[in-house]
Structure 1
Amino acid sequence: MSLVTDVLLGGAGAFIVLSAVVLYRVVRGPTMQDRVIAVNAIGTNIVVIIALVAAATGNPGALDIAIVYALLNFVMSIAISKFTVERGGVL
């Protein structure tokens, strides 16, 4: 493996650790908005992880998966935000 591949996979590992740290905010809250933002941050980290692994392995097809996942993450975030506003969960 080359140095570039090692750096890309190391960066992906760092984003995995960061996602595990943000998972604490999903579980502990304290508000619904904190949880939504944390889930959105984890989704964004997953998109970056997929892109880094795709670049490291030379698999450009995985970038399509990352783009679709980013779009789904955005739609999910909007849907949850709309649901909490309609339900009266926003202070």
Structure 2
Amino acid sequence: MKRIAIRERLRKAKSLAVRREIAHDWLANWLQHYDLTIRSLDNAVSRGEMQEAGRILGQLKALNDKRFGAMPNLIDKLCDEDVA
């Protein structure tokens, strides 16, 4: 299944309520990925697998870079007036 960028999902939303729901879903997904990645990083460090920990840290950085990069668009779209 192809993932649709948050800005596209928000652009197609017809009301503030729908945009708000999309944003909340996006945040929940981010937190789920973040928590899973942190647990994986913690497990690797606990096992002394520093190379694996470094790889996971890179994933964490990429995850956050992508999400923080999308944040300005998300805020702008949530501040737009209703389009319905």
Q: What TM bracket, shorter-length normalisation?
A: 0.5 to 0.7
Q: TM-score scaled by structure 1?
A: 0.50
Mapped to 2, the partners of 1:62 and 1:90 lie a distance apart of 41
Aligned mate of 1:63, from 50, 53, 64: 53
Greater RCO (CA < 8 Å, at least 6 residues apart): 2
Deviation at 1:52, TM superposition (A): 2.2
* Structure number with higher helix proportion: 1
Match of 1:81 in 2: 71
Match of 2:31 in 1: 41
Q: Which runs of 5+ in 1 are unaligned?
A: 1-29
The residue type equivalent to 1:60 in the other structure is M
Deviation at 1:85, TM superposition (A): 4.3
Q: TM-score scaled by structure 2?
A: 0.53
Aligned residues, how many? 62
- The CA RMSD measured in Å over matched residues stands at 2.5
